[in-house]
């Protein structure tokens, strides 16, 4: 790996671009496997479970390809994107990158990801459904291969419900009002030892999208414009405030601590709350961390409108800076198309997007995976989502900041919602 000095960063991107253009038009003629031993780097975000499984998958890959050494690097979500931006700017980005829907356009539009058509000799996408592949395209170019999908779900801790004698909710009928009533009941019956729920959203794109779709609204229009209605977002925050006020939800301070504690340290994992909202695939680490009887049930309000959605969350992508695109593509091919990898990785990164792998893993699921798959099969899905536009990657941190101002009473929900949407629009306009 040839490292370039950081101070060259200014010129680095200018140097990289002509190379990129060559890749785009040349059609991968020069992409081939090396005869020499090659080391490639692969990076992902995620919890400990993911790291263990991925390391095992890497070991299996290296056994099949003794020429290729894969160095895995992983970080938590927040640090991951800082590091990726920094290493990319320094022209030192890892070869294989786990990409998220939030950032796909930001990186793809700026030419830092390889057009996977160039590596089609090594990475076979024929097993995927066209609609699935579509979620990895920006303006018709395949920059990323979807790994899997997730869906928002309600997580309930059945142990805590039993302990405090509260009936489990009936998710075929429940509404947000029911949710609030149950949360309050849990707090009350536990004598304040636990809270019924954590914050039910309003700090991230996923939960706000669900809430907006319940109200006939959407985050982005087809052309990538922000269409979120401030009044809708304000209503979600008002709901949260009321729930904190009544004691059903954790206090604002507890919420903030939970936000920076990671999945394993979150309140649902440590048994401080009995209900929350999470992606179905997060159930595996949550089960491992909590050791409790956690279950996935439908989101409140799901009966009224089909507002839930498949989140085409994770992708594999190859850096356009990679000096070994063929090897990088071979690794991705192994991860998404080979049963040996599927056996190890299971559904930890989501229910596999490759139908053959989905079928394969369905025969041998552990408890958490089974819950995640069952949930996906039972949930009703609304229309597909629009990929986050370039410049929209700051949605979550920006939203978290405004929501904190609301929760600590520094701003009214309506005022904060308007300011937030204004800021989001400015960022997206600036990036376009």
The footprint of other proteins (CB under 8 A) covers 5-7, 9-10, 13-14, 17, 78-79, 81-82, 85-86, 88-89, 106-107, 110-112, 251-257, 259-260, 394, 397, 400-401, 404-405, 408, 410, 427, 430-431
Least distance (Å) between residue 52 CB and other proteins: 22
Nearer to other proteins, 86 or 378 (CB): 86
Nearer to other proteins, 106 or 200 (CB): 106
55: left (phi > 0), else alpha (psi -120 to 50), else beta? Answer: alpha
Nearer to other proteins, 106 or 330 (CB): 106
Cα 306 from Cα 298, distance rounded (Å): 11
Helices 325-337 and 48-64, axial angle in degrees (round to 10): 110
Least distance (Å) between residue 394 CB and other proteins: 5
Nearer to other proteins, 221 or 265 (CB): 265
Nearer to other proteins, 73 or 177 (CB): 73
Cβ neighbors of 107 (< 8 A, separation 6 or more) are 88, 99, 113, 143, 317
Nearer to other proteins, 374 or 415 (CB): 415
Beta bridge partners of 51: none
Nearer to other proteins, 106 or 313 (CB): 106
Cα 112 from Cα 174, distance rounded (Å): 45
Least distance (Å) between residue 245 CB and other proteins: 17
Q: Is 86 helix (H, G, I), strand (E, B) or coil?
A: helix
Specify whether the CB–CB gap between 203 and 403 falls below 8 A.
yes
Least distance (Å) between residue 408 CB and other proteins: 5
User: Which residue blocks in 147-265 are alpha helix, DSSP H?
Assistant: 158-163, 176-189, 205-214, 230-245, 252-259, 262-265
Instruction: Supply the DSSP string of 354-407, one letter for each residue.
Output: SHHHHHHHHTS--HHHHHHHHHHHHS---SPPPPPPTTGGGHHHHHHHHHHHHH
Least distance (Å) between residue 299 CB and other proteins: 26
Least distance (Å) between residue 402 CB and other proteins: 9
Least distance (Å) between residue 96 CB and other proteins: 18
The token pair at 356 is: 């053959």
Listed residue (211, 212, 206, 216) closest to 179, CA to CA: 211
Specify whether the CB–CB gap between 103 and 81 falls below 8 A.
yes
């Amino acid at each position: 790996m040839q490292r370039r000095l950081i101070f060259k960063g200014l010129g680095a991107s200018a140097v990289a671009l002509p190379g990129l253009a060559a890749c785009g038009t040349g059609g991968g003629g020069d992409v081939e496997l090396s005869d020499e031993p090659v080391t490639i780097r692969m990076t992902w975000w995620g919890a400990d479970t993911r790291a263990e499984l991925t390391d095992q998958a890497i070991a299996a890959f290296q056994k099949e390809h003794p020429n290729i050494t894969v160095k895995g690097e992983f970080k938590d979500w927040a640090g991951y994107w800082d590091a990726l931006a920094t290493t990319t700017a320094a022209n030192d980005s890892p070869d294989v990158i786990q990409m998220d829907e939030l950032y796909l356009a930001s990186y793809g539009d700026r030419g830092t990801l390889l057009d996977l058509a160039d590596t089609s000799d090594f990475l076979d996408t024929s097993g995927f459904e066209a609609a699935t592949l579509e979620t990895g395209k920006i303006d018709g170019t395949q920059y990323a291969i979807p790994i899997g999908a997730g869906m928002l779900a309600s997580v309930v801790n059945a142990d805590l419900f039993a302990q405090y004698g509260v009936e489990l909710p009936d998710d075929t009928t429940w509404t947000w009002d029911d949710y609030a009533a149950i949360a309050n009941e849990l707090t009350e019956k536990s004598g304040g030892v636990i809270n019924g729920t954590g914050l039910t959203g309003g700090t991230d794109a996923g939960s706000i999208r669900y809430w907006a779709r319940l109200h006939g609204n959407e985050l982005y229009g087809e052309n990538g414009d922000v269409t979120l209605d401030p009044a809708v977002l304000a209503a979600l925050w008002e709901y949260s405030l009321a729930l904190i006020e009544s004691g059903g939800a954790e206090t604002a301070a507890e919420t903030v601590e939970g936000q920076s504690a990671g999945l394993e340290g979150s309140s649902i994992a440590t048994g401080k709350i009995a209900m929350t909202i999470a992606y179905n695939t997060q159930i595996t680490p949550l089960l491992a961390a909590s050791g409790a009887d956690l279950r996935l049930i439908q989101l409140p309000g799901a009966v009224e409108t089909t507002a839930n959605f498949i989140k085409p969350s994770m992708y594999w992508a190859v850096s356009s800076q990679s000096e070994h695109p063929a090897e990088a593509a071979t690794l991705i091919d192994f991860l998404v198309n080979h049963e040996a990898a599927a056996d190890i990785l299971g559904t930890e990164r989501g229910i596999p997007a490759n139908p053959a792998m989905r079928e394969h893993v369905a025969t041998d699921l552990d408890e958490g995976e089974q819950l995640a798959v069952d949930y996906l099969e039972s949930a009703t899905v609304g229309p597909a989502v629009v990929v986050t536009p370039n410049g929209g990657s700051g949605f979550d941190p920006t939203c978290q900041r405004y929501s904190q101002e609301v929760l600590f009473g520094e701003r009214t929900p309506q005022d904060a919602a308007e300011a937030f949407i204004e800021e989001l629009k400015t960022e997206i306009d600036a990036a376009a």
